[in-house]
Structure 1
């Protein structure tokens, strides 16, 4: 969640209470389930006498309408219901119909704020008399599905901090919200109930319980702070333990501008290149050096602090270490071999690196070859331009740097992935690979928006 200087929350609708009780949330979702069930039945009856082509077209439109209704109703409930929808939108594209995925992608953290009296009451319960040591701005600078962010001043020292205040009751509602969400999908007939879906819900349950544990997030933030304290390109907020609890996180206020801000586009190319290089390098470090990654690709988890003078360094502000994922040595070895094969643009090496999971080990040779080609395309920005004869000419500048804005890589990947998935009976990829791939896609999008150019030798060679 971005702790920038925006005070746009003044214009948001404020709500006095959250529906955090099991009864209220069950009632809301039961009503949604009932309405979807009625509409589904009505659509089935009215389409009985249409021919197959007309029925398919009608069902397509109906599915779009139902999906948007589902997302709209879920968006009214803060807490883990919204987060579950967002996670399924990010990671569930191989489980859910595309209409559902598109609709769930509209679920937005930036929704109504919880009124200050309720937040103040919550802070008083969390901090007791320590609350008197803080001067808290009642207007939030950020909202999300699980928490709200307020600026504050430590009165004794003048230190500027932000308080990430978890909404009351959301942690206790995770298990029931998951059950309700699964029930909603089942009643609505929108999604087939499969073991893959069950496995993903279990994964989401673990992620959510980890994300609402602010003591764990504080420890993770401190690890990243220590790792990057001597690198002038990055800023990690400093945790203030005095005012932090399991449901409240206090950290230094770190201003910056959004990564999609027009102001970034006005920076000289070389400065944008440096920001882009830093953004992609931190991700490679997470995988290949530290073995843990912040898996949420949301742009709101990053800010840029633009240097006042060209002689200074523009800094990438890293926020929100709640959605952290740790990887074992087996996965890291496989990922390292995939990256090496991508750098040398070696199809045979890429096929050999694809092992260690049933997803890979049960593929036929034809399928393995197709997926290896897909991986070679995905690693195009990290390949040696001399070795990669398939690199489009307009993707490299005169210094052999990758031109992200020209690459159209996301579109090419989507097209190639669609072809590859159609060529065999698709098995769900390992969850770990889906986390990593989504993070990479988020970084790819950032570098494309930034219109940056990166050097694959500087990025990859240190890790080979």
Structure 2
């Protein structure tokens, strides 16, 4: 959640409380389920006398309407229900109909804020008399499904901090919210009930409990702070333990602009290249060195500290370490070998690296070859141009750096993936691979928006 530094949400609607009681949320979701059920019944009856083609088109349009209604109703609840929807939108493209994924992608954090008296009462319960040591701006600078952020000053020292305040009751509502969400999908009949979906809900439950544990997030933030403190390209907020609790996170205030701001687009191209290179290099560190990754691809997890002096570097501000995933050695070995094969553009090495999971081991040679080709395309930005002579010429600049905005990589990947998946009975990839792939897709989008040019040799070669 980006604590965007310049625009407090003074014009946003405020509410006094969230519906966090089980009864209130059950009633809201039960009403939504009932309405969806009625609509399904009406659609089924009215479509009985249509031919197959017309009925298919009608059902697809109806599914779109149902999905949008579902997302709209979920958005009114805030809390973990919204977060569940957001997570499914990010990670569930392999198990959800596209209409559902698109609708859930409309769930965002730009929702009503809790009123200051409610937030102040929550802070008083968490901090007691320590609250008197802070001068807090009552207007939040950021909101999310689980928390909102306020700027503050430590009166004794003048230190500028931000407080990430978890909405009261949302942590306790996670289990019941997930059960209600599953029931809603089952009753509405808009998502097939499969073991894959159940497995994803179990994963989401674990992720949610991790995200509301701010003591764990504080420890993770401190690890990344220590790792990057000597690299001037990055800023990680410093945790203030005095005012941090399990449901409250206090950290240094780090100003910056959002990655989609016009000011960033107006920077000279070489400066944007440097920002893009820094963004992708940290992913290499996560995979090859640290073994843990921030898996949330949301642009809101980044700000850019633009230098006033062109001689200095612009810095990437890394925010929100609640979605960190730690990966086992086997998966990391596979991911590293895939990237190495991609750098060398070596189809055989790519095929050999694909092992150790049923998803890979059950493939026929033909399917393995198709998927290896897909991975080679996905790693095109990391390949050595001297070894990968088929990189489209418009994707390389005069210094052989990869031009993200010209690559159309996302659409090329989608086309190739569709062909590859049609060649066999598709098994769901391991969840861990989907976490990593979504992070890469988010990074690809970021670099495309920046119109960055990146150097593959400095990205992968140090880890060969």
TM-score, normalization: structure 2? 0.99
Asked if structure 2 preserves the Cα contact closer than 8 Å seen for 1:7 and 1:139, the reply is: no
Say yes or no: does 1:191 pair with 2:214: no
Residue matched to 2:117: 117
CA distance in 1, matches of 2:88, 2:4: 28
In the alignment, the residues of structure 1 paired with residue 245 and residue 128 of structure 2 have an alpha-carbon distance, to the nearest angstrom, of 12
Cα offset for 1:8? 4.4
Write the distance in 1 (CA, Å) between the matches of 2:176 and 2:424: 37
Matched, 1:397 2:397: yes
Partner of 1:327: 327
Post-superposition Cα deviations, 1:63-89, rounded to whole Å, max 9, x if no partner, equal: 000000000000001111000000100
Aligned twin of 2:135:
135
Aligned pairs for 1:228-239 (under 5 A) are 228-239=228-239
Across the aligned residues of Structure 1 and Structure 2, the Cα RMSD in angstroms comes to: 0.7
Secondary structure, counterpart of 1:11 in structure 2 = coil
Distance 1:339 1:221 in 2: 27
Residue 55 (structure 1) aligned with residue 55 (structure 2): yes
- 8 Å CA contact 1:134–1:153 kept in 2: the answer is yes
Deviation at 1:366, TM superposition (A): 1.0
Q: How far has the Cα of 1:193 moved from its partner?
A: 0.6
In structure 2, the residue matched to 1:429 is: 429
Q: Distance in 2 between the 1:365 and 1:6 partners?
A: 55
Question: Does the 8 A contact of 1:272 with 1:452 survive in 2?
Answer: yes
User: What's the offset of the Cα at 1:6?
Assistant: 3.0
SS in 2 for 1:209: helix
Equivalent runs, 1:346-425 vs 2, <5 Å: 346-425=346-425
Aligned to 2:9: 9
The residue matched to 2:153 in structure 1 has which SS? strand
Mapped to 2, the partners of 1:229 and 1:136 lie a distance apart of 27
Equivalent position of 2:252 in the other structure = 252
Please give the secondary structure, in 2, of the residue aligned with 1:448.
helix
Deviation of 1:267 (Å):
1.2
SS of corresponding position for 2:239: coil
Check whether the contact 1:4–1:254 (CA below 8 A) recurs between aligned residues: no
CA displacement, residues 332-351 of structure 1 (integer Å, 9 cap, x when unaligned): 11111101110011111111
- Residues 345-369 of structure 1 show CA distances to partners (whole Å, capped at 9, x for unaligned) of 1111111110010000001111111
CA distance in 2, matches of 1:15, 1:275: 38
8 Å CA contact 1:84, 1:204 repeated in 2:
yes
Contact 2:334 2:354 in 1 (8 A): yes
SS in 1 for 2:9: helix
C-alpha distance in 2, partners of 1:420/1:6? Answer: 46
Which whole-Å deviations, capped at 9, do the CAs of 1:134-187 have from their partners, x for residues lacking one?
Answer: 011000000000000000000111100000000000000000000000000000
SS class of match (1:103): helix
What residue is the counterpart of 2:444 in the other structure? 444
In the alignment, which residue of structure 1 is the partner of 2:308?
308
> In structure 2, how many angstroms separate the alpha carbons of the residues matched to 1:89 and 1:428?
16
CA separation in 1, counterparts of 2:422 and 2:94? 12
Q: In structure 2, what is the equivalent of residue 177 of structure 1?
A: 177
Q: Which residue of 2 aligns with 1:209?
A: 209
Moved over 4 A (4+): none
CA distance in 1, matches of 2:12, 2:66: 26
1:304 and 1:366 map into 2 onto residues whose CA distance is 45
Aligned to 2:289: 289
Separation (CA, whole Å) in 2 of partners of 1:165 and 1:289? 32
Which runs of no fewer than 5 residues in structure 1 stay unpaired?
none
Measure, in 1, the Cα distance between the counterparts of 2:376 and 2:43. Answer: 44
Q: Deviations along 1:46-68, whole A, 9 cap, x unmatched?
A: 10111100000000110000000
Q: Which residue of 1 aligns with 2:336?
A: 336
**Structure 1 match to 2:166:** 166
Structure 2 residue runs of 5 or longer lacking an equivalent are none
Which SS does the other structure have where 1:161 is aligned? strand
1:212 Cα shift?
0.2
Q: Distance in 2 between matches of 1:68 and 1:413?
A: 27
User: What's 2:268 paired with?
Assistant: 268
How far does residue 3 in structure 1 lie from its aligned partner after superposition? 1.5
The Cα shift of 1:326 comes to: 0.1
Partner of 2:48: helix, strand, or coil? coil
Shift of 1:426: 0.8
> How many matched pairs?
464
Residues 348-405 of structure 1: per-residue CA shift (max 9 Å, x gap): 1111110010000001111111110100000000000011122101000111000111
Q: Report the secondary structure of 2:348's partner residue.
A: helix
